Amino acid sequence: MLIRILLTIFLFCFSTKSFALELVIGQERVEPGVIFIFEGAIKDQIFPEKLHLSEKNTQVHIEARVNWDETNIPKGGVSGGFIPYLHITSKVINEKTGLSTFIDLLPHLNLIDNFHYARNMTLPGKITDTYTVIFTVFPPQKLELSYHMDWAKQFGKKLLNEQVFTYNNVDFEDIAKASRK
């Protein structure tokens, strides 16, 4: 028991020191009770490597944590549970030069956030520049998710509508300079 407690304390201290730095770009709530938290996180090595930019070739790990709210969610929903099957894109625009980068966020899994959508990326400019970040969320496609009659009667034949969230003056400098090592 004592070993388990000490291990928990060690892991908490290690993870807090290594992974505490995250830039919350924005937070939104969309009916029927879906919470979006958009973040700039510290770059990381992601697997499979053939699908992702390597840690050494990136500056930022863009994330979208998408979960049911803790309260006021549809019957049967798991409070705080991950929302799968969404398609999320991010466009990062340098506010000084107008250069932009467009990425698709893919489902990821780690020991800090658990399931989330994310992607490593290189900023379209200097890490000291400010950026406009646009997240577009597309609902599941027709063959990816089916709806029972009870859901369709209460919410329609969809999970949510397409959403666009825009954030200006995003400063990635601290995140881009940070390392998980």
Q: What is the pLDDT of residue 59?
A: 96
- The pTM assigned to this predicted structure is 0.87
Q: What is the pLDDT of residue 20?
A: 56
Q: What whole-number distance in Å separates Cα of residue 131 and Cα of residue 124? A: 9
Query: Which run of H or of E encompasses 16?
Result: helix 2-19
Q: What is the pLDDT of residue 19?
A: 46
Low-confidence ranges of the chain (pLDDT < 50): 1-19
Q: What is the pLDDT of residue 181?
A: 81
Q: What is the pLDDT of residue 84?
A: 97
**Residue 4, token pair as written in the block:** 């388990």
